[in-house]
Structure 1
């Protein structure tokens, strides 16, 4: 064989080997990833050949499949669409599963999860039609309904947790949407609905409870600043702090003021307890500078800031920025500057305080079930971290009870129930009305629920808004629903 033919033979062999490798890689190594691509309509079409599992709340389906009379064979139905939209998400032939549990647990609901392998084999051997697993959620239907109704047509979000387990009892984000529009079998109708939702300036597809641009937490962050001070061992709730009407910041011309322009106590002094009760900006700003930026960051991290979570939907990590100078730290200590948090995160802060300082990992799926509702898997509560000592948690509880009993949190008072809470009014853009916050837990001595509420741009009160007035009654409604259920 002469040299040119030998070189050509070698080239052809290399090309065949490359082709064989590529085919093997695509068919075996990458097959699962390719099948799972949202745009893979062939895979989606195949998934419509089997009944998709239901999503259940207190035994009632909030997403289920019903027989269809077209090639897709199954319709996806959402009986209470807007109330649970950000919990269920959508299941679309055009855009795939997404937006909530539908996307995060698609492999279980569709029946393709490795967890269901032996059940698929059993179905094959017995001749049963394959069915996806059903998911029982932790949502309390009364709390979900109360949160949805109380938030109303205001933009914002509500999250409620069981402090002792981390179970999510309510998750509401407004504006909402109807996932049924995205699950229709008409491609043109689905595409039209999708385009309309994307163009909506309210961003209804965003779950504000766990994602999006996040919010400055405002004065609710003072709980973390107070926790850091108490944990240092240098402060108690009775420690005296400076509380002038306005605090001069190093290198800054404009001082940091209190919301009412008044000092927080006689001779510009106040206790930490009283400072939290009236939400004194200058006291906590000064305290933050004294503690230092890394102390604040470390304490926030113990509550969960910066940690990626899945509930099972991915949660955008809350943030306390690094590299802060003294004026930055003063602002951060009162939940401003570049501090950003999800409502879920602030509910976790309140829940940890009510749970003797222990942060539980939040979760939304209680059990994985067969089509006959037999348990395949069940979530066990997991500790995420120990944010503060029991002694610190009890001091903070005392302070938060005073906030509701005699301070800015009065609108959240419930007859016969001690509520521990903290208000927040967060500036976020020049000329814009502030966001209204409230976070709380109850009953204060043995909490069954912790809640966080944010209402964007002051809600219906606009620039006249305050956290207690706007967000407090929403939190109260959710707490009452949980305690009454």
Structure 2
């Protein structure tokens, strides 16, 4: 073979390999991305011929597709739509839009991704119509209904998770909306419904469980500060702090007080355990200044702050900022100032404490299944990390149990069950309504559920409501639903 032919053969081989790699990359690695590209009209039109898979909770479809006589062939229908709206979202082929699980798992539900290739081949040979895969959620309809009913007309959210697994058992956000109105194939009607919801000042399309306008966590954050102190080894729950009725923030003339205006108990000093039990602001502010913002931030991040989570719905990161001065750090000691949180995050804090200090990644999907009930994908439990050691978790838990038993969180008590809990009543400015919180888990010794409740706009009571009066009873009903009581 001459040199010229050899060179030509090498060039042709290189070109063939390049073409092979490129086409393989497109057909395998980029298949899902290209299939879901909104500019890929062929895939979108082909998907209309596929009956979209169901979204299932507790063995029943909460989102399904029914045949219709229009170009889209199938209409998406939602059961108990407002209750499930923050989870399912909606799918509308006429607008080319989707939200929630409908968007996050569109590849599976629509049967257009690479994972559906072999199913499609099988359908061709069998002569059966192709169907999308169904998605089985971890959410429990009984627990979801309990949370939904307990929230009623209040504005806020509830998130309940299994501490040992991270499985989301309930995610409710109120006020909500009817996803069926946004799924209609009449584009004008769907757009009108969307515009009305978008203009609503209560923002019903927010999923307040994982996003929206984040709130200061108030006194629920005290358990994070306590955990930061005890886990370092230089504090215990019996460590004491000065007990004045007024405290001036360092370097300022701003004076803060405990919620009731007096001291935290009768003594000249108060223990960390008592500060948690009675939900006192001043000793927690003193502790926060001693710890410093870096140590508190590291503890908060160990529980998940400053991170986004995909359940697969993506959460807005809860925030503990860096570079705080002593005055701002003192405010974060009782969940005020610049710290903000989602209910998902505060449920993760409680779940981590209840799980011996181990924080699990939250997830709300158990499996993707075919119409033949074959499991095509299972979702595993995964650890986010060890936030605190077991002894620290047990010590903070004991203080939270005391808070529910005879402290500031008594409205979460359940006869015969040790509930570990912490309330929060967060301020939002001199004349704005409070944000009301509860987070906790039960049974304290071997928890089956961790829950966080946020009630915005003061629960309709302005600055006269409290976390114990309004948020704690909601959490109690959710816990009872999980425990079957």
**Contact persistence 2:57–2:139 (CA under 8 A):** yes
Q: What does residue 19 of structure 2 align with?
A: none
SS of 2:368's equivalent? strand
SS of 1:421's equivalent? strand
SS of 2:462's equivalent? helix
The separation in 1 between residues aligned to 2:71 and 2:294, in whole angstroms, is 59
SS of 2:72's equivalent? coil
Is it true that 1:416 corresponds to 2:419 in the alignment? Answer: no
State the aligned residue count.
Answer: 461
Instruction: Please state how far the C-alpha of 1:124 moved relative to its aligned partner.
Output: 2.4
Alpha-carbon spacing, 1:96–1:428, altered in 2? closer, same or farther (3 Å): farther
Alpha-carbon spacing, 1:29–1:162, altered in 2? closer, same or farther (3 Å): closer
Instruction: Please state how far the C-alpha of 1:40 moved relative to its aligned partner.
Output: 6.6
Instruction: Please state how far the C-alpha of 1:133 moved relative to its aligned partner.
Output: 0.5
Q: What does residue 179 of structure 1 align with?
A: 179
Correspondence 1:69-80 to 2 at 5 A: 69-80=69-80
Instruction: Please state how far the C-alpha of 1:415 moved relative to its aligned partner.
Output: 0.9
The separation in 1 between residues aligned to 2:429 and 2:330, in whole angstroms, is 18
Q: What does residue 108 of structure 1 align with?
A: 108
The separation in 2 between residues aligned to 1:115 and 1:33, in whole angstroms, is 12
The separation in 2 between residues aligned to 1:69 and 1:230, in whole angstroms, is 65
Instruction: Please state how far the C-alpha of 1:98 moved relative to its aligned partner.
Output: 2.9
Is it true that 1:470 corresponds to 2:474 in the alignment? Answer: no
- 5+ residue gaps, structure 2: 1-24
SS of 2:287's equivalent? helix
Instruction: Please state how far the C-alpha of 1:441 moved relative to its aligned partner.
Output: 0.2
Q: What does residue 442 of structure 1 align with?
A: 442
SS of 1:219's equivalent? helix
What's the C-alpha RMSD, in Å, of the aligned pairs? Answer: 1.9
Q: 268-277 or 293-302, which moves further after superposition?
A: 268-277
The separation in 1 between residues aligned to 2:188 and 2:291, in whole angstroms, is 58
Instruction: Please state how far the C-alpha of 1:93 moved relative to its aligned partner.
Output: 2.2
Q: What does residue 130 of structure 2 align with?
A: 130
Alpha-carbon spacing, 1:194–1:27, altered in 2? closer, same or farther (3 Å): farther
Q: 451-460 or 117-126, which moves further after superposition?
A: 117-126
Cα deviations across residues 362-391 of structure 1 (Å, max 9, x unaligned)? 000001100122211111111111001000
The separation in 2 between residues aligned to 1:470 and 1:265, in whole angstroms, is 24
**Contact persistence 2:157–2:209 (CA under 8 A):** yes
Instruction: Please state how far the C-alpha of 1:242 moved relative to its aligned partner.
Output: 1.8
Q: What does residue 480 of structure 1 align with?
A: 480
**Contact persistence 1:97–1:106 (CA under 8 A):** no
The separation in 1 between residues aligned to 2:338 and 2:43, in whole angstroms, is 43
The separation in 1 between residues aligned to 2:238 and 2:67, in whole angstroms, is 65
Cα deviations across residues 379-424 of structure 1 (Å, max 9, x unaligned)? 1111111001000011111100000001111001111111000000
Q: 31-40 or 108-117, which moves further after superposition?
A: 31-40
SS of 1:234's equivalent? coil
Tell me the TM-score normalized by structure 1: 0.92
Cα deviations across residues 94-143 of structure 1 (Å, max 9, x unaligned)? 44343310011111100122222222222223222111110110011111
Instruction: Please state how far the C-alpha of 1:86 moved relative to its aligned partner.
Output: 0.6
Cα deviations across residues 224-275 of structure 1 (Å, max 9, x unaligned)? 0000010111111111112311212222112121111101133441111111
- 5+ residue gaps, structure 1: 1-24
Q: What does residue 83 of structure 1 align with?
A: 83
Q: What does residue 9 of structure 1 align with?
A: none
